[in-house]
Structure 1
C-alpha cells in the first residue's frame, strides 16, 4: 500500500506527468479546495486569471495567488492547520483579558467549535457569519493583540540570536584556550629539555616541577588577562537581554574608566558543559603518566582529559544552518 500511494502522490492528476520523468516537478495546492496539481498545470490553467478547478465535480473557482506548497503529506492535516491559523487571527484574546479561568476555557471551547465546524464542514455558513461578526465587533482588540504577538515574536527572535552569539563566543573562547594550552605545552617541553641538558645529577625532578608550576601560572595569567581585556566590550547575558527587551528599554553597559580594578575578575567562570574529574580509568594514560620520560617532558594527564572532553563537546551549541551559510560564503570568496 505504501508503494502504491507513494507512486500516486508523485503523479500529477491533471497532466499525468510524474517525478520520474520530471525530477524538478513541484506540486501545489489551493486553499479553496486543497486539490493538488503540478506547478506547470497551475501556470497553464490560471496564468490568464481565475478558472474552475479541473478536478471533476469540484466546481470551485481558483486563483493563482492562492496556490502554495504543501507542507504536510496528509491534505486533511494541511487544511486543519490553515483553518487554525485563520481562526487564530480573529480569536486572538489572551488569558489575562479574562476575569476567571472558566471564562477563558469557555472562550477556548468556542474557538475549538468554530475550528471543528470549518474543518469538518459542519454548519459552515453560520460559523463564517459568526467569525465575520466577531471580527467586526472586536477589530481594535484584535489589531492590538496581533501587534503584541508580533512584538513577542520579534523579542523571541532577538533572544535566539543573542543565545546563538553567546554560544558561538563560548566555543571560540574554548578553542582559543585549547590552542593556547597546546602552544604553552610545547614551550614547556622545549624549556625542560634544554634545562635538563644542563642540570646536575638528581635535579631532574626539581626542574620538571618548577617548569610545570611556571606553566600553570602563565596559563592563569593569560586567562585573566584575556578576560579583563573584554571589559570595554561586555557581553549582555541572555537573561538580562530578555528583561531589557521585554521592558522595551536599551541599557548601556557601564564602561567608566574609574571602575575599581578587580584582580580576580573573570575567575568565577566555570564550564557548564562538563566537569573534568581528577582521574579516569585508562591504563594507557596511567602508564604514560608514571613514566619518568613523560614527567620530564611536562606531561600532565589532566591536560589530556581536558583536551579530549573539549573536543568531544565542541560540537554542542554549534548551529548547523549558520555553519552552512558561513562555509558557503568561504567557498564563494
Structure 2
C-alpha cells in the first residue's frame, strides 16, 4: 500500500498531474496550457485597476486618429495625381502597413481593457505575433527604402527618374513585404514550436516574443540566439543604411549655395530621421537583448511608444505637415464638396420638375 502511494505521488510530481487547471498537491490554482485547452491569459494593464477605463479612452482616441490619418493619407495620395511620385508612393505603402500593424494589436487590447476574461487562444496568439512581426519588420525595411529615396532625390536629382522608376519602386515595396513576413514566419515558428506546459499568463498586452518565450518549459537558448540574429538583421541593417544615406545627404546639402535650398533639404529629411530614431531606438531596446532581461512594466511602456506613438507620429510628421499633402487634402475635399453640391442641385431640379408635372 505504501509503495503504491509512493509511486502515485512520484508520478504526480514528475509529469504534473493537474485536474481542471488546479494542482492536486495544493489549493492554489495554477492554470496550465494543456493539449485540450491551449490558451494564454494576457495580463495587459490589469494591475492598474480602474485606471484601465482611462487607458481605454486614451488608446481608443489614439487608435481612431491613427486609423483616420492613415486612411486620409492613402486616399489623398491615390486621388491626387500630383502626388503620384515615389516619395508619396512609399508613404502610401507605409500607411497601409501601419494600419495593419495597429489593427493586429489595438482592437484586442481595447477589448481586454474592458473585459475580465483576457484569454487568447494558442492559434490566435501565434497569428497575432506573425502579423505583428511581419508588419513591424516591413516598416523597418521600408524606412530604409525611404531613406534611399531621399538620398536619390537630393544627391542624384538628374538620375532620379532612372534610380526610382515605377518598376524599381514596385520591386522595393514587394521586397520589403516578402522579407518582413519571412522574418515573421521564422520568428513565430521558433517561438510556437516550443512546448508550453507551465503557467499561461503573458505579462503584456499582446503576444510579443519575449513574454511568450519565457513561458516555454524547455531550454530556449538556441531559439533566442536565432531570434536575436534576426532582430539585428531587421533593425541594424536598415538603420545603418539610413545613416549612410543621410551622411551623403548632409555632405551634398552643405554644398547647396542658397539658404532656402539647404532649409528645404534639411526639413525634408528631418521628419523622416525623427521617426526613425524613435522607432528604431525603442525596438532595439526591446528586441536586441535576451528575453531573460525582460521587465514587464518598463517594456510595456517602451512597446507602447513604437506600437502606438510612432504610428501616430507618422501621419502627422510625414504628411499632414507637408504642404503638398495639405494642398491635396484641400483639393480632394473641395472636389467632393463640388460634386455633392452638383448632386444636390440636380436632385432639387428633378424634384421640382416632378412636382410641376403632377399638378399640370
Q: TM-score, normalised by structure 2?
A: 0.24
User: Of the two, which has the highest radius of gyration?
Assistant: 1
With CA pairs under 8 Å and 6+ residues apart, which has the higher RCO, 1 or 2?
Answer: 2
Larger relative helix fraction: 2
